[in-house]
Amino acid sequence: MADILLVEDDPTSRHLMAALLSEMGYSVTSVASGDEALQHLYSEETCDLVFTDVVLPGMSGIELARRCRAARPGLATVLVTGKPEGWKGALDAGALALAKPVSRERLADVLADALQPPRHG
């Protein structure tokens, strides 16, 4: 299964989402900020997908998505948002958006879509 970098500043939400992703068969690394996420990516650690909230302290999830894709072009990114304005920002950053609250089924579908290799044609 894929390696997911989970970025969530709330410890309870981070723990619950990490447990769910692990239960779904993913290998999960959890960090609390955009800066920590970028450090992880720059360290050459394995990462197939970045899963982040739009609202983070310091650096927004949208800015994080842009910087992740600049560091690793083609890196799959999923942003979770509870606000409609987060959708446009996610799409502009080249990420998929997932609305809160997140169901397990919808999460599974979005992650599967995000991890598909790009189609050329």
Q: Supply the DSSP string of 74-118, one letter for each residue.
A: T-EEEEEESSHHHHHHHHHTT-EEEESSPPHHHHHHHHHHHTSPP
Burial 76-103 (b: 16+ CB within 10 A, else e): bbbbbbeeeebeebbeebebbbbeeeee
Is residue 75 predicted with pLDDT exceeding 60?
Answer: yes
Is residue 120 predicted with pLDDT exceeding 80?
Answer: no
Which pLDDT band, with edges at 50, 70 and 90, does 16 fall under?
A: very high
Contact 53/97 with Cβ under 8 angstroms?
A: no
Q: Is the pTM of this model over 0.75?
A: yes
Domain boundaries of the chain, sorted by first residue: 3-114
CATH T-level assignment (fold) for domain 3-114: Rossmann fold (3.40.50)
Higher per-residue pLDDT: 117 or 10: 10
Give tens-digit pLDDT for 31-65: 999 999 999 999 977 899 999 998 899 999 999 99
Rounded CA-CA distance 28/111 in Å is 13
Contact 58/67 with Cβ under 8 angstroms?
A: no
Is residue 118 predicted with pLDDT exceeding 90?
Answer: no
Residue 85 confidence (pLDDT): 66
Residue 87 confidence (pLDDT): 66
